[in-house]
Amino acid sequence: MTDVELRDPAFTERYRAIAARDSRFDGQFYTAVRTTGIYCRPSCPARTPKAENVSFYLTSAAAHEAGFRACKRCLPEAAPGTPAWDLRRDLTGRAMRLVADGVVDREGVSGLASRLGYSERQLHRLLVGELGAGPLALARAQRAQTARALLVGTTLRLADVAFAAGFGSIRQFNDTVAEVFGATPSELRARARRGGRSVAAGADEIGRSHRDRSVDGPVSGQPTDLGEHKPEPVRISLTLPVREPFDARGVLEFLAVRAVDGVESADLGAGVLRYARTVLLPHGPGAFEVRVPRPGSGRVDLDLELTDLADAPVAVARVRRLLDLDADPVAVDSSLAADPVLAPSVAAVPGIRVPGTLDPAELLVRAIVGQQISVAAARTHLSRLARGVGSPYVSAFEGLTRLFPAPAQIAGPADPAPGADGETNGLDVPPGTDAASAYLRLPARMLATVLGAARDLADGSLVLSVGDDPDDLRRRLVSRPGIGPWTAGYVALRVLGDPDVLMDGDVALLSGARNLGLVSAEASRPHQFKELALRGAAWAPWRSYAAMHLWRSA
């Protein structure tokens, strides 16, 4: 460690964090110790190493590339992720969101570079310079993290774990796990059980049902000679780590009041926090159910139902984004509580989250439909649309019967015959009427906006992804007829996880601000909006979280 590094303020701050074993920083950076050759999470209980022996890395991939292996005591790969990739609007943040969504595994480095508008060589150079690891190393680290979670959290066969984590071969799987964790896959699993970290609830039956289907044959989702026979879905259970405090009820209530019938299901009764929904993943349809066992547990239980095991890491990443599990609640709450008027709300609801989305295209359609109507009315319209043209889906999870309609189905012709669930649609429309016009009983201008977006999403002329640049995304959306700054901001907030959005012209936000005494109740509405914008400037870069407090107050 050089004198320059020791005098670096960032180094000093991080070293203080590891000396205090501060769990708030777990997953936000990694501590590598040259004398031992291992890297740890900041809260590792081991003796604090001397500063001159320490190096810090922003990603576990960079630590791998530098020749370090994961600590067997603190399990750094089991920490929550970092909120930095949502905070950062640069190439690095965009790339990391796409890597987490499995783009490198599905499309290769060339696909990632194309999405970001760079050459492969430029992208590699920029990421290595910023993070210490290139795209392949970052994807490899994610595969290792997924493999560890499946090894210690399920009873899946080792070969199936390798496939589910995205490895191309068993040998590659074994070599990577041994290199990163200093143990073979079977040793990792055995060590977890000896240490009392048993598999998640229900995993024994889940793993056994998967094995019994085909011990020596192909894994579910792979080509078979069974003709039209559809293989049973793969079901696995995992536990997702989360930083506390975590307002689980708040984020699930937000999703529940917007739940589309048949697509989503929620139970938020006393002692129960459950949310389930169907989702279209890269290799086929699936579903999931999340349960929060108890407040303050630092965990979310996740059951997955997949067409193909290869979708497991993508599903986990998308559920984490949906629930905003990688947020830094202490940083958010500390910043917002500095406003004396907002402080009581922060104290009453610690760890508030900003819900994300599973499907950017779906979120855009939902945002357009809900632009000028109530949440309840939007839910009614969208449920009618899903019942009419959403593809049927049979799930073991209660209340799930169909997928949310794809853009091509929304823009396609309405079918006056029985709907996707077998119920009569009751349509009386001219032949050739599109589904949006048939099922969404909205004003003509709004219908045209939905239909135009659905058509462009279906033919690829409009593309939305978690790797978009926030400003570019807003410009592209606002340039479309019928989409204003509110809708563009809402899409950026939920698709990109942008933590610093305060929607212009949102009457619910204004109502909440009045309830909290943040704006003058006697002033005109335009003046109140200006007052809210000025007041909100002090909440940066966490204005999206402040908006959640205002919505709750409204």
Angle at CA 545, nearest 5°, toward 542 and 548? 155
Dihedral sign from CA coordinates of 104, 108, 111, 113: positive
The contacts of residue 59 (CB under 8 Å, 6+ apart) are 30, 131, 132, 133, 138, 141
Q: Which helix (H) or strand (E) holds 294?
A: none
359 a catalytic residue: no
- State how far the Cα of 327 lies from the Cα of 320, in Å rounded to an integer: 10
Residue 28 carries which DSSP code? T
Cβ–Cβ under 8 Å, residues 119 and 113: yes
Which element (helix H / strand E) includes 31?
strand 30-33
Choice among 3, 8, 40, 469 that is catalytic: 40
Please give the full DSSP string across 143-155, using - where no structure is assigned.
HHHHHHHHHHH--
Asked if residues 60 and 133 have their Cβ atoms less than 8 Å apart, the reply is no
Query: Of 312, 308, 318, nearest to 283 (Cα)?
Result: 308
Residue type, 335: S
71 is a catalytic site residue: no
* Cis peptide bond upstream of 541, omega within 30: yes
How far is Cα 500 from Cα 482, in angstroms, rounded to an integer?
24
Q: Is 429 helix (H, G, I), strand (E, B) or coil?
A: coil
100 CB-side CA count, 13 A:
24
At 347, phi and psi to the nearest 5?
-65, -35
Q: Given the residues 101, 160, 498, 506, select the one marked as catalytic.
A: 506
Active site residue ranges: 40, 506
